[in-house]
Each structure stands twice: as C-alpha cells, then as structure tokens.
Amino acid sequence: MSALAYAIGDTAVVAKRNLLRIPRQPDLWVSFTIQPLMFVLLFVYVFGGAISTPGYDDYTDFLMPGIIAQTMAFGGFVTAIGLSDDLSKGLIDRFRSLPMARSAVLAGRTFADVATNIVSLTVMVVVGLLVGFNFSSSAPEVVAGFALLLLFGYAFSWVFAYVALISGSAEGANALGFMVIFPLTFASSAFVPPESMPPAIEAFSNANPFSTVVDATRALFLGTPAGNDVWAAVAWCVGLIAVFGALSVHKYRRAVSS
Amino acid sequence: MGDAAIEVQGLTKSFGDVRALDGIDLRAPAGTILGLLGPNGAGKTTAVRILTTLLPPDGGSAHVAGLDVVRDAAALRAQIGLAGQYAAVDENLTGFENLEMVGRLYHLGMRPARERSRELLERFSLTDAADRLAKTYSGGMRRRLDLAAALVARPPVLFLDEPTTGLDPRSRLQLWETIEARVAAGTTVLLTTQYLDEADRLADHIAVIDHGQVIAEGTSDELKSRVGGERLEVTLQSYDQEPAAIEALAPLADERPKCEHGILVMPLARERGGIAEAVRRLDGAQVRISDIAVRRPTLDDVFIVLTGHAAEHEKKGQEEEQREEEAA
C-alpha cells in the first residue's frame, strides 16, 4: 500500500476511536448541546431587546447565524480537551511509537469533531426555529450555509489542535482557547452590528474572519446581499486548515508529554 | 551490528542544562533481557524514549533491530513494542477496542487485528473484561492490557519502562512470567526498573545508570561479587553488649566489625570458622543474641556501594502518573 493509503486508513482508525468515545463521555455533550442552547436563550430573551439591528426583521434572524458559527468554533474544544488528555495519559507516546502515519492522530481527531458539530448544528437549527428564526433564502443556499458552518468548525478544530499541543495540559488548553475565541466571536458581527462599536473595535471586527463567516452565513440563510463574503469565508477556512494543520503536525512530531 | 538487537554507543541527550544522558553504551543480544536499573531521574526513561524514536538524541548512535533510531525511525517503529510507565490505554474504549485499534495501526489488517486481540485478551486473562471500558479496569488489568497492546504485532524488540511500578505482588509475578515467556519465544526486551529484585529475576544483563551514565554493568552475580562476599549479621538483645560483641568477633575478620542500633555487621571469612565459630565466641563472651545470619549481597547493596545512595528511598514517590523526568 502507498503512504497515502496508509495515512487514510490510519486516519479512519483514529476517527473511529474518537467517534466510539463520544457517547461514552456524557459530560462532553453538555458543551456541544446545552451550552449553545443557553447562549441562544440568553441572547434572544435577555440581551436581544436592547440590541438594535437595522435591516433585519428581528434580533433572532440577526443572531442565529452568528451564534451557530460561534458554536461551530467552540466545537474545537472537543479536540483540544481530547488531545490534551491523550498527551497527559501517554497515549500520544504510544501512537508516536507505532508505524502509523504522523498526520493520522490529528486528522482522525479533527474529523471526529465534524460528527459532534453536526449534532450541535442540528440542535441549534431546531432551537432557532423554535425561537422564531426564519430561513428566507432558497434550499440550496441553506444547505451551502450548513456546509460552510461545518467547514468553519473543522478549521477551528485544527486551531484547537494546535492550542492543545502548545499548552501541554487540558486546563492550559482551555484557558488559551477561551482567550482566543472570546475576542474573536464577540468583537465580530455575530451578536451586534459592528457599526455600533467604537472605531478601533469596529475595524477589528470588520477584519475578523469570524465576521466574514457570519456575514456569509447570514447571506446564505437570509438572502441578504453576500458580496464576496461567501468565497472570502471559504478562503479563510481553507487557509486556517492549511496553516494550523501544518503547524499542528509539525508540533505533534515533537510532542512530548510532560 | 552483529546479532545485537539493541546497540547503543555514546548516546547523549540534554534538556537545557540537565544532561539526562551523558554518553551511555548499551548492548542486548537478540533473545535476552537487558535491565536498566537506576533511581528516578537517572536517565532510564530518556534512553527508552530515544530508542523508541519518541525523542531525537543529541549525539552518539543507537540501533534497534539493526535500524538506526534517527535515519530508519519509520521502519524501526514496525519492529518494536512499547509499554509505558503508566498504562497508555484509552480509558473510554473497551479492552478489545484498544487492542484492535493498535493492531490496525500496526497495519495488521482488520481480521488479523481482531483475531490477535482476542488471542491476547485470552492469554492475559482479560476475556471476561474484553467488552468493558478500560476505565473500569483495576491497575493490574490496565498494565496487562498495556503490555498486550505492546505485543499485538509480535515485535522482535520490546521496551518496558517500569512495567510493574505500582502493581500488587500477584500482578507483578504474572507480568514477570509473561515477559519471560516472550523472551523464551525469541523476543529481546529492554526493561527499566527501580526494583532490584525485578532486575535480579528477569535481566540477563544489567546496566546500572545514575546521572545519565552507566556506572556498572554485568550479570546480577557479577555485580554482586563486586561489592564483596558474604557478611555476617548479628542482632544483639541489648545495646549494652555492643563492645563485648565487637571484641568477641574481631579476630574473625581483617576488618573491625561495625555495630549500630544493636546490629553488628562484618565480612565473613569461612577459613576462620564461619558462623559456627562466631556463635561459639559470642556464647563464650556471654553475649545474648536474638538473631544471627549470613547475608549474601543483594542488588540493593550493589546499588548503595555504586551510587552512594539506596534505590529504596525513591519508593515513596511511586504514584502511577509519576514521570521519571520532565522532557522539555
């Protein structure tokens, strides 16, 4: 078999391992089902009334694409925590002593996140519909929106894989992960229109890839004008995967448990 | 490389200012057990990590199964099995799933991986627990599963890094028997341990490591003969009689007997009458004793003589998760 065939086979074995683990870790379900649900209820019913979103029918329509994108990004925490755990328990040592593809542990890990992200996405869409969200675009656009969100989640799994590999402990990965994800998600167009922010933060928000993905998802879900947002969002995702994939595999080769 | 399964020359490795390995040489002929004995932080784990390709060496050379650990790392990984200091199994997989995964990652193919997993679970008395999650296993069961994982691909060279640390005596004995059976079948084993009895029982050849250097090596008997012959140990009933006991026994040895806490220790020269003469003399001097025995040197004695400190004092910190050294 060729090296590529081995790499694919090894990735499938590791992905299967991680998928088998999901139903056995009920504490993790909280993070990708109940937590996002809480965010929706908080923003729709607590903050929503105080945030004005000109150009949108109501705040729920504005909010849902943003909060789903945030949930997808948070999905990467499953990778961060899982990898940190594997590092501290010596499993990474075992994997690295096996004649398997060097990329497979990470690729299998991030691939399994897509499954949990599909569950999160389903929960969020159902909740969104219950609190009054309306898809006002064509079916193919909605499907494209789902695909973009899953791609974005996959990209963040690689970001979090790198976070886990450089932090060395689950607690460290958790802290570093939040430091990355909170500014990115909140200083963006996800929850409030950037025009309402001070100029410096508005500029940050406009340059923030998170805003690009949220704007593209809004366009795909609500039929608002997209401009170049969709392609820019895809490019951001592919770029993140390429950069953090390479960084992570490089770091993994030298990974040491401490 | 001759027929050596493990051949190490002048291996060095530093972490910052700490010289973890300061030029060690090791050699294990195929089908033998090489014991690496030393206290925590001596460099044992660093040596294992280099030999299993987990860590690049700074200098020197190391070959395993004829393959260079740096240049031939990828090919080498197919020839080795590693069982760690703490059991590296996935707690959220069953015993069977763990072994099957490792078998697939050794590229055994799906059916052979499954068959081999069942066979190993059977051999390690884990068949009943095969479909239980590993997190429900006892410490001994996890160690056995970990060792089984290292054996899935029947690797010719096995690295066991403190395989019995933290195990109860019965599990230890079982693990020893398993290791001996593998070696009888032709496997070469590098075993690190801080238990002297473990090295004594298992290792054909022992290298004592301290501060990143091999400070002594040989068979267990060779090492013991280096610390001298038999010794007489007498336990007195009363501390008051220490001087009397010393006077009574002094003519039996070139070296003056030492006495501490009511226990007298001296080299034993058989040509001067041995233990029988000692008893007669103590009796003649009316020294009352509660015990008298001839002690042959143990590896503990070897260790104390060679390193100036006991291996025993490390035993307090034997928590399962404990790592030998921090790898930067």
pLDDT, one tens digit per residue, over A122-153 is 999 999 999 989 898 899 999 999 999 999 99
Q: Indicate the residue among B225, B247, B272 that finishes a domain.
A: B225
Is the domain of B220 the same as that of B234? no
Best mutation target, B93, B104, B132, to test chain A (most A CBs within 10 A): B104
- Under DSSP, the state recorded for A54 is T
Q: Which residue of A has its CA nearest to B324?
A: A258
| CATH code, domain carrying B48 | 3.40.50.300
Instruction: In whole angstroms, give the CA distance from residue B174 to residue B188.
Output: 19
Q: Which residues does B260 contact at the CB level (< 8 Å), separation at least 6?
A: none
- Which of A14, A25, A256 is the closest to B327 by Cβ? A256
Best mutation target, A8, A81, A98, to test chain B (most B CBs within 10 A): A98
Is the domain of B271 the same as that of B214? no
Question: Do the domain assignments include residue B321?
Answer: no
Question: Do the domain assignments include residue B22?
Answer: yes
pLDDT at position B222, please?
Answer: 85
The partner residues of B251 in beta bridges, in order of sequence, read none
Question: Do the domain assignments include residue B308?
Answer: no
pLDDT for A147-196, tens place per residue? 999 999 999 999 999 999 998 788 888 898 888 888 899 999 989 888 88
Assigned token pair, A85:
């755990």
Query: Is some CB atom of chain A closer than 8 A to the CB atom of B73?
Result: no
Best mutation target, A22, A94, A100, A169, to test chain B (most B CBs within 10 A): A94
Is the domain of B265 the same as that of B208? no
- Angstroms from B242 CA to nearest CA on chain A: 51
**Cβ-based contacts of A25 with chain B (< 8 Å):** 92
Instruction: In whole angstroms, give the CA distance from residue A170 to residue B234.
Output: 56
Instruction: In whole angstroms, give the CA distance from residue A104 to residue A214.
Output: 30
Q: Indicate the residue among B205, B225, B245 that finishes a domain.
A: B225
- Angstroms from A118 CA to nearest CA on chain B: 22
Is the domain of B177 the same as that of B221? yes
Tell me the count of A-B CB pairs closer than 8 A. Answer: 79
Chain B 127-156, CB below 8 Å of chain A: which residues?
133, 149
Is the domain of B168 the same as that of B192? yes
Is the domain of B45 the same as that of B170? yes
Is the domain of B184 the same as that of B280? no
Query: Is some CB atom of chain A closer than 8 A to the CB atom of B96?
Result: no
Categorize the per-residue pLDDT at A26 as very low, low, confident or very high, splitting at 50, 70 and 90: confident
Question: Do the domain assignments include residue B111?
Answer: no
The partner residues of B18 in beta bridges, in order of sequence, read B15
The partner residues of B263 in beta bridges, in order of sequence, read B235, B260
Q: What's the total number of domains in chain B?
A: 2
Mean pLDDT over A223-230 rounds to 81
| CATH code, domain carrying B274 | 3.30.70.100
Residue B289, domain extent: 230-295
- Which of A1, A24, A97 is the closest to B80 by Cβ? A97
Best mutation target, B45, B48, B69, B90, to test chain A (most A CBs within 10 A): B90
- Angstroms from B241 CA to nearest CA on chain A: 54
User: Is ipTM beyond 0.90?
Assistant: no
Q: How many CB atoms lie within 10 A of CB B50?
A: 26
* Contact: B105, A17; criterion CB under 8 Å: no
Rg of chain A over Cα atoms, rounded to whole angstroms, equals 19
**Cβ-based contacts of B57 with chain A (< 8 Å):** none
Question: Do the domain assignments include residue B307?
Answer: no
Instruction: In whole angstroms, give the CA distance from residue A3 to residue A220.
Output: 39
Query: Is some CB atom of chain A closer than 8 A to the CB atom of B292?
Result: no
- Which of A13, A89, A256 is the closest to B101 by Cβ? A13
Q: Say yes or no to pLDDT of A96 above 50.
A: yes
Angle B174-B53-B178 from CA coordinates, rounded to 5°: 10
Q: What is the pLDDT along chain B (328 residues), one digit of tens a residue?
A: 457 899 999 999 999 888 999 999 999 999 999 999 888 888 999 999 999 999 999 999 999 999 999 999 999 999 999 997 766 899 999 999 999 999 999 999 999 999 999 999 998 889 999 999 999 998 888 988 999 999 999 999 999 998 888 778 888 888 899 899 999 999 999 999 888 888 889 999 999 998 899 988 999 888 877 777 778 889 998 888 888 888 888 888 877 888 888 888 888 776 767 788 889 898 998 989 999 988 877 777 777 777 766 654 443 333 333 344 333 3
* Contact: B105, A21; criterion CB under 8 Å: no
Shortest CA distance to A34 belongs to which of A154, A134, A158, A119?
A: A119
